[in-house]
Amino acid sequence: MRKESIKSASTRTCAPERENCAKYDEQSSITRKFERFCGFRLDDVSSFDKFTNLLYQPTDAASLGVVRALFGLCMVLDVVEERGLADVDIKWGDPSECRFPLIHGMKPPSLPWIIVIYGIMWMSAFGIMLGWRFKLACSCFVAAYWYIFLLDKTYWNNHTYLYGIVGTLLWGTEANKYFALDANKQKGTTSTVPLWNYFILKFQFFVLYFLAGLKKSGAEWLSGYAMTNLSAHWVFSPFKLILTTEQTDFFIVHWFGCIFDLTVGFWMLFQRTRVPAMIFCTVFHLMNSRLFSIGMFPYVCLATMPLFCNTDWPRKFISYTKSSCVIKSEDSKMETSEREVSGIKTVCKRIKEGNLKSKSVTRRQRFVVSLLLLHIGLQFFLPYSHFITKGYNNWVPGLYGYSWDMMVHVWDTILVVIKVHDNVSNEDRFLDPKAWVQTDRWEKHGDMARQYAFCLRENLIEQKKYMLQNGHQYKRNPKWTSLSSNLSIYIDVWCSLNGRFQQRMFDPNVDLLTVDWHPFRPISFLMPLLSQYSSYRYKIEEIQQHVYTWSNDTDVLFVADFPGMHLDNYIAKNFTNVSLTVLEGEVTYSDENQTEGVILSKESSIPIKTEQFHRVKTTSAYPACYMYTYNNRNKQQSDTNGPLEPETQKEVFSISKELNYKIEAWSRALNHIVNAFFYLVYDVPMVRRVHINK
């Protein structure tokens, strides 16, 4: 009896201990699972010093070295092609060409010196690829790259910004410890790098995908209006076996594109989901390389995917290929295997030794980690910082560069009118919107439109001086040579955003030479987007489909305008059966032969005479919407000459064509460098090509 009471008492005493042990085991199991899943312990991020120690853990440099070499190779190709070394004479050769620098007043150097800068950037890309004088190569590449980047905003893209960021981050790493000429020279050094070398680069590409997904998660993208008719390309042929063209556009391009960008970064972080995620990622980027003219961007993303793999995968891969491909004697095989295993063990030993070292954190390490955290904060903040830099906003926030809103906004510009008013003679002159410019990016940004206006005034005055110095030119262009220096410039841009009505972007009555602009204040001359008619896009599609059934050459154009404003339009003779129909509001129509205007209300229509100007003025108290329907004779002639080649019949990727293009581009690039050298050293005149507007 006494034994039983003692036993029951001991059981009651041990019960709490057992419960505590069970809880401890459960917590330990969760902790182990977390550590196995994430690669670090929760305790490692419990304080700043512990987090710093975590980021400075020695890690195998093999994967980083391979990624560095592949990124350098991509930059070697990019400098020639998308950066423009092959066509540097066309891009930068004309001193009167209008530029759009981020810092107003910043001007590019002369052509020979810009070629020198390009040459430095190109040679530095080779240095990054080969891992030769890596730090010097990175510094030269980054300095030259960002300088050219700042010279002209019209060439900005999300991926051009990405290249500069990756180059800057690589500059701070020790990516030359493996697969590099520097590593061969310094054989005594360890082949490990701090963990943060991988961490910050993986973060940069993770945030590329994730923020692109966040930008696509809005109604503008998910409604399917951004990338319409993209599925007509041959790369979507497998999807169209089970889906229609419209379904492919909506579900594959828009919805799957959003889900992919949002999640693929997470899938690549974890071991179990990494392989399928990388397969999807590879297919995604290869498709993009065929769909869009985005240079080396898909290949840079492919080249940096190994960052998400185990850091020692190159060593294991080399060990595997040697053991499976090289036929040797058994003794030789054993010696080779032992040597390879010994090499891997040496790296592991150095990593363990590093982990066992004193955990004291230096001031320099704290500073580096603070910079990394600052970079992380900036990368999350900048894409949403447009409430600060309001002067660069238009209908959508921010410049197309660091926002990661890739392909979310599609613009369709139908008309740009540039009016030069001479305030002395009170005369108007009109300029070609392609004058002294090679890109149309400026048309959608108020800051660039203002820069363009100042450039036009400067060029017109310089051209007048030149013509006055040449008598024959004066006689041929008396209208332009009589211009005074007291000018006003007005720009009227009509465009559509993501399938909306065509509408004017800037106030056409504002002189861009006198208007006030500030980078931190909203653009005063920007007309608002008529978002109240955004829901009209579904009806626009219905009307389009109905008009297309009339004949093979009919088309329709949708226009919206503000109260009190008017559109002066000229209909060329190649258009027939032109009519104007009012969809919303009230307008007054008049042409050259009419003394009084015709008032048109909602659902009213009127035929339009061709080969003359007409005016459509909005007279309602709210914005009016109307449409032109017409027959296009040019389309009739093309149909008569033969059917147009459908999108699905586009030529598939040709390796020989790509190689020929690259060989020609490299030949031109080398020729430019040689010409610049002889000009700067021996004063030999340079021959350059000129840009011709088609």
Q: Report, as residue numbers or ranges, the catalytic residues.
A: 216
Phi, psi of 478 (to 5 degrees): -65, -30
Q: How many CB atoms lie within 10 A of CB 528?
A: 11
CA angle 241, 258, 218 (to 5 degrees): 125
H/E element holding 491? strand 487-497
Nearest to 444 by CA among 419, 409, 404, 420: 409
Question: What beta strand segments (E) does 585-641 contain?
Answer: 587-591, 598-600, 605-607, 613-618, 624-632
Using the CB atoms, write b or e for 599-631: b if 16+ within 10 Å.
ebeeeeeeebeeeeebbbbbbbeebbbbbbbbb
Q: Which residues contact 625 (CB under 8 A, 6 or more apart)?
A: 501, 533, 536, 558, 559, 560, 582, 583, 584, 585
Measured CA to CA, the distance from residue 45 to residue 48 in angstroms comes to: 7
Measured CA to CA, the distance from residue 264 to residue 275 in angstroms comes to: 11
Using the CB atoms, write b or e for 647-676: b if 16+ within 10 Å.
eeeeeeeeeeeeeeeeeebbebbeebbebb
Whether 137 contacts 124, CB under 8 Å: yes
The string of DSSP codes covering 196-229 is HHHHHHHHHHHHHHHHHHHHHTSHHHHTT-SSTT
